[in-house]
């Protein structure tokens, strides 16, 4: 357990994730004047915590083991897959959820036909992914 707590490759990205998510809660509090706990654990929004975490880890690995190392290549490919998923697949799922929620709100639809609304904020815009990546790379290179 002590080794895990002392592992900066684990702790620093987790701190980045917590910081980005906390930032989203603070922005929500300022903009909408309400505390939204779902923003702390939820996906989507500016900036992308997914991008921040994976790029932070990749930058830390590159700095420690070299940017030409195999482990950095693995971390880089992992980062690309996660960021693609955040801006592509998950964003598309969020758009579909928004459309389906509009359909179930149409007149004539019985409430018993739908048990709950779908989550619409699942993915990120490319800009949100980019900003998250810049945060992650910056923190990863510093620590």
pLDDT of 138 strictly over 70: yes
- DSSP letter string, 78-140: HHHHHHHIIIIIHHHHHHHHHHHHHHHTSTT--GGG-SSPPP---S--HHHHHHHHHHHHHHH
Per-residue pLDDT at 78:
97
- Each residue of 101-114: pLDDT tens digit? 676 776 666 655 66
Higher pLDDT, 80 or 90: 80
Query: What are the residue ranges spanned by the domains of the chain?
Result: 2-142
Per-residue pLDDT at 115:
62
Give mean pLDDT, residues 48-59.
96
Task: Give the chain's mean pLDDT.
Answer: 85
């Amino acid at each position: 357990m002590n080794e895990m707590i002392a592992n900066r490759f684990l702790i620093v990205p987790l701190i980045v994730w917590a910081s980005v998510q906390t930032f989203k809660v603070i922005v929500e509090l300022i903009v909408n004047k309400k505390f939204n706990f779902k923003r702390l654990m939820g996906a989507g929004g500016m900036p992308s915590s997914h991008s921040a975490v994976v790029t932070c880890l990749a930058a830390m690995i590159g700095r420690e083991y070299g940017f030409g190392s195999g482990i950095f290549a693995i971390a880089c490919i992992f980062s690309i897959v996660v960021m693609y998923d955040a801006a592509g697949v998950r964003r598309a799922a969020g758009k579909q959820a928004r459309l389906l929620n509009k359909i179930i709100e149409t007149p004539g639809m019985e409430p018993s036909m739908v048990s709950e609304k779908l989550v619409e904020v699942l993915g990120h815009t490319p800009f949100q992914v980019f900003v998250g990546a810049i945060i992650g790379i910056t923190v990863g290179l510093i620590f």
